[in-house]
Amino acid sequence: MAKITFRQNYTNISDLNTSMIGNEVTINGWIRNTRIQQTLAFLELHDGSSSKTIQIITEDNAYINLINTLSIGSAISINGSVVKHPQKDDQVEIKLLEIKYYSSVDNPKEYILNAKKMSIETLRTHHMDVRVKTRTFTSVFRIRAALSKATHDFFHLIKAHHLNPNIVTTSDCEGGGEVFTISTLLKNKTSEIPVCNKTDVIDYSNDFFLKKAYLTVSSQLQLEMLCAGLGKVWTSNKSFRSEKSKTNRHLAEFEHIEWEFAWTNLDQLMDLSEHYTQFCLEYVLNNNMDDLEVLNAFTSKGLIDRLKLNISKPYMRITYDDALKIIELNAEEILKIDSKMTLPKWGDDLGSVCEMFIAEKINKSPTFVYNYPKDLKSFYMKQNDDGRTVQACDLLIPGVGELIGSSVREENYDKLMKVVNDRKMDIGPLKWYLDLRKNGSTPTAGAGLGFDRLVRWCTGMENIRDVVPFPVAYEECKF
């Protein structure tokens, strides 16, 4: 393996330890706190490398006067000597030798980080540009980065190939209609948009792609094509849904972890989803404990215990029919959560309230629900012998709701075409997908996981916008 060299001319705060006592180091970061006495000044710095901070001390009057002009959020670069912490034998602090660079805050009195109280909602709504400098959000985003690393590690270990298909597509995949249409036809005047035969139907034949195109809602169909020659494939693509929802669980743009494996059945599919999510949880517990402790202390009480519990035992597995029985038996308690809701009957979607109730209140565990009614699910799912259900499976997480949607795919061309025809689907954009069943078709199964929901699970954050660096949602697109 080639040697990787990055000539970093400073020391990360996360790397400081007692073996470095007596060394001179350069520390770059942002001020989290200052404390000035008559002849002594203290600076607490963070640099993003971990949740750890380092204390800088000085008795130099010139530097004390300068530090007195700096507030929380100011950037600074210093040279200093590593010394033993006076109260903590296993920690160090830095004796200031030189301030090499600083950048103050323009108006400290108005700067949100200097406020005594600062809610997560306030940061999300009005100050998203500075939230990355807070303890909570630096911890959330480091955990997000760690989960990305864990995801790549997991699929690499099981020899799956990482490929990102196109996100501009001519198919809406699941047929739900919640797609963003891409067009260059819209100019300054809507009257200039061409229509077919003097009707109000837009003519896309002169558009950029010579046809109607969308932002993808899922890379699944393309992954199935790649799976036909590679066996095991996965993606970390973005997906887009034009769903007009303002809940704390939905985004218009989200990171979508999807996988498609040949020669895989429903039990194996559930095993894979369980192993992957537990691998991610364990990775964060092993590598981001400092960040978890920050969240556990301030925003997500009990987070660490919940994560440990979820990797200590297998997930629950129940059928859709079992789920309906649970809902029927607990109808009164469920209606206390939402008295206006209509409880699902056979053939209905379970709904987020019932899903959360089953996972959180009844099973108290991540729960697979499988064998859904065929008319409820997408056209490509494999039917069971009962003629009424398909081999579809959702993974429900306490406090989060649905995390993974998955299914075994129908590999038989005639059976698939019957569903397409029964649903009166337009086969034009799907011809290439249907033809996969004509030439060496194999049993396949796959899944899609909302990565942002995985981050939410592992951080305990209540709103999905708080685990995404730049959230895009219904009526929200700030950056």
| 171 pLDDT tier (thresholds 50, 70, 90) | confident
| pLDDT at residue 175 greater than cutoff 60 | no
Average pLDDT, the chain: 93
| pLDDT at residue 196 greater than cutoff 90 | no
Residue 122, domain member (yes or no): no
- Strands (E) in 321-467, as ranges, are 367-373, 389-397, 401-408, 444-450
Alpha-carbon gap, residue 23 to 7, rounded angstroms:
18
Residue 209, domain member (yes or no): yes
* One domain for residues 198 and 147: no
Residue 4, domain member (yes or no): no
pLDDT computed for residue 109 by the predictor: 87
Residue 309, domain member (yes or no): yes
pLDDT computed for residue 91 by the predictor: 93
Which domain CATH number covers 274?
Answer: 3.30.930.10
Give the Cβ contact number of residue 46 at 10 Å. 20
Look at the block and give the residue holding tokens 């209905």. Answer: 348
DSSP β-bridge partners for residue 254: 239
Mean pLDDT of 450-471: 96
pLDDT computed for residue 199 by the predictor: 67
Sign of the C-alpha dihedral computed for residues 247, 292, 71 and 11 taken in this order: negative
Which domain CATH number covers 107?
Answer: 2.40.50.140
266-287 helix and 289-298 helix, angle to the nearest 10 degrees? 90
| pLDDT at residue 75 greater than cutoff 70 | yes
Question: How many domains is the chain built from?
Answer: 3
| 1 pLDDT tier (thresholds 50, 70, 90) | low
Mean pLDDT of 324-329: 97
* One domain for residues 207 and 255: no
* One domain for residues 209 and 92: no
Alpha-carbon gap, residue 59 to 37, rounded angstroms:
10
Give the Cβ contact number of residue 61 at 10 Å. 10
* One domain for residues 240 and 154: yes
Mean pLDDT of 280-302: 97
* One domain for residues 53 and 157: no
pLDDT computed for residue 193 by the predictor: 67
* One domain for residues 96 and 154: no
| 205 pLDDT tier (thresholds 50, 70, 90) | confident
Mean pLDDT of 259-280: 98
- Strands (E) in 312-456, as ranges, are 316-319, 367-373, 389-397, 401-408, 444-450
- Which segment of 60-64, 128-132, 169-173, 426-430 scores lowest on mean pLDDT? 169-173
Residue 124, domain member (yes or no): no
Mean pLDDT of 439-466: 96
| 249 pLDDT tier (thresholds 50, 70, 90) | confident
Residue 106, domain member (yes or no): yes
Mean pLDDT of 364-390: 96
* One domain for residues 365 and 402: yes
User: Is residue 237 within 8 Å of residue 272, measured between CB atoms?
Assistant: no
| pLDDT at residue 17 greater than cutoff 70 | yes
| pLDDT at residue 266 greater than cutoff 90 | yes
Of residues 193 and 136, more confidently modeled: 136
Q: Which residues contact 479 (CB under 8 A, 6 or more apart)?
A: 128, 470
Residue 8, domain member (yes or no): no
| pLDDT at residue 172 greater than cutoff 80 | no
pLDDT computed for residue 313 by the predictor: 93
Mean pLDDT of 30-52: 94
| pLDDT at residue 114 greater than cutoff 90 | no
Mean pLDDT of 110-117: 84
Alpha-carbon gap, residue 347 to 343, rounded angstroms:
12
* One domain for residues 202 and 55: no
| % of the chain beyond a pLDDT of 70 | 96
Residue 19, domain member (yes or no): yes
Mean pLDDT of 306-318: 96
pLDDT computed for residue 387 by the predictor: 93
* One domain for residues 257 and 336: yes
* One domain for residues 221 and 211: no
| % of the chain beyond a pLDDT of 90 | 80
Three-state SS at 218: coil
pLDDT computed for residue 240 by the predictor: 95
Mean pLDDT of 146-163: 98
- Which domain does 465 fall in, by range? 136-165+217-477
* One domain for residues 79 and 224: no
| 198 pLDDT tier (thresholds 50, 70, 90) | low
| pLDDT at residue 187 greater than cutoff 80 | no
* One domain for residues 45 and 72: yes
Three-state SS at 212: coil
Closest among 403, 404, 399 to 462, alpha carbons compared: 399
